[in-house]
Amino acid sequence: MLPESLSETPHRRYNPLTGEWVLVSPHRAKRPWLGQVEKMPPLNLPAYDPTCYLCPGNSRAAGKVNPAYTSTYVFDNDFPALLLPQSVSSLSGSWGQPDLGSQEEGLFAAQAVAGICRVVCFSPRHDLTLPELSQAQVEAVVQTWTDQTRELGSQDFIQYVQVFENKGETMGCSNPHPHSQIWATSQIPNEPAKEIAHLLEYQRQHQSCLLCDYLRLERERGERIVTSNQHFTALVPFWAVWPFEIMLVAHRHAASLTDLHEDEQASLADILRRITARYDNLFEVSFPYSMGFHQAPTDDLPHTECHLHAHYYPPLLRSATVRKFMVGYEMLGMPQRDLTPETAAARLRSLSETHYSQSTLS
C-alpha cells in the first residue's frame, strides 16, 4: 500500500515508460476553487444530423458522399496531416536520418514524413458514444481498428499505426458524431518512441516486460485499479498526470491489436464500454478525453518489448465545468497534480458501469 506520507506531503513520482516525473501535491486538494468555469456542449443531439459530414448519406469535402452505412465506416481524411510518399519526397534531405552530429544539420534538422490519415465512424448514430453502443457495436469498432492496423501496417513505408479518439469540444473534436482517427506514419512518433526505448531498456536489465511486471504489482495491491475483466485491466497509473487519467493494459503480453484473439477483442470492447461509462457517470456528462493505443511498430523488428496498452487523458477536474490546464510551472517545469492517483481511482471505482440516463438530467 502507499506510504501514508505520500498521501499528505508533496512528492514526485517516476514514470518508467517515459523517464519523466510528475509532482504530486495532495495537501493542496482542499484549497478553494476560484478559477474559470467552462460551459459544456448540449447533450440533446439528434440520431441523424443532415448537416453532419460524418452521418450516412451526407456530403463531405470535394463532393464526396458517405454511403448509407449501418456499422462502422472508414474513409481517408479529407484534410490529412500526412501525405503519401510521392507527394513529400521533394523535401530537402529526403528520407534519410539527419546527421545530428553535424552542427548545421543538428540545429536545423528536417526529415520527410509520409503517411495516411483515416477516420473511423463508430456507427451511423450521430448521438451515441462508445458507452451507449451495444457490445456488438463496440466489438465492430475494435475489429475495424484491428483491420486498419493490419492493412496500413502492411504497407512498406509505414512504420507505426496510431489509433486514437478525441472526444468532446474541449479536446478539439470538431464534430460530435462519435468517431476516432488513425494516423499511419513513416516514422515512429515521439510518445511511443519514448516508451519503446524504456520498455527495451527494462527488458535488457530484467529479462522481463515492464508492463507485465507493473500490472502484476498493481493487481496485487488493488489501490489504483478502476475496473477489469478476463483479459484487460484499467487503472489510474502511479505516475498519472491528468486528474482522472486511465491506462488500459492487456493481461497477456500481446504487442498489437492484431495479436489479440477473438475473445480478447470482445473483452477489449467490454472494458472500453466500462471505462467510458464510469467517466460519463463521474459528473453525469458526456466526458471529454483523448485516448489512444500504444502498440508495436510495423517495421521488420520483433519488438518483444512492446505490450499493448491504451492511455486516456481526460481534462475534467472538479466537476463537469472545471477543467485541468497545463500552465505555468507545468509548462515550464514539470507536470503537477493535487488529486492523488489513489483518490482518483477510488472515485472512479465507486461509480456504476451502467451509463447514466441523459433524460433524467435537467
49-76 pLDDT per residue, tens: 999 999 999 999 989 999 999 999 999 9
Give residue 181's identity as a one-letter amino acid code.
Answer: Q
Given the residues 179, 231, 307, 311, the one annotated as active site: 179
Q: What is the pLDDT of residue 94?
A: 56
Which CATH number, 3.30.428.10, 1.10.3720.10, 3.40.190.10, 3.30.365.10, labels domain 61-185?
3.30.428.10
183-194 pLDDT per residue, tens: 999 999 999 999
Establish whether domains 61-185 and 189-356 are of one fold: yes
Query: Per-domain residue ranges for the chain?
Result: 61-185, 189-356
Number of H-type helices and E-type strands within the chain: 8, 14
Find out whether 187 and 157 touch, Cβ atoms under 8 Å. no
- What mean pLDDT is predicted for residues 352-361? 68
Q: What is the pLDDT of residue 104?
A: 75
Select from 314, 311, 268 the least CA-distant residue to 289: 314
Backbone angles phi, psi at 189, to 5 degrees: -65, 165
**Distance in angstroms between the alpha carbons of the first and the last residue of the chain:** 41
Facing residues of 179 across strands? 121
Overall pTM surpassing 0.85 (yes/no): yes
Backbone angles phi, psi at 135, to 5 degrees: -55, -45
Find out whether 271 and 226 touch, Cβ atoms under 8 Å. no
Give, in words, the CATH class of 189-356: alpha beta
In the chain, the percentage of residues whose pLDDT exceeds 90 is: 78
- Cell numbers 515512429 correspond to 188
Close Cβ partners of 246 (under 8 Å, ≥ 6 residues apart): 226, 234, 235, 236, 275, 311, 312, 348
Q: How confident is the model at residue 42 (pLDDT cuts 50, 70, 90)?
A: low
Does residue 261 have an active-site annotation? no
Facing residues of 73 across strands? 121
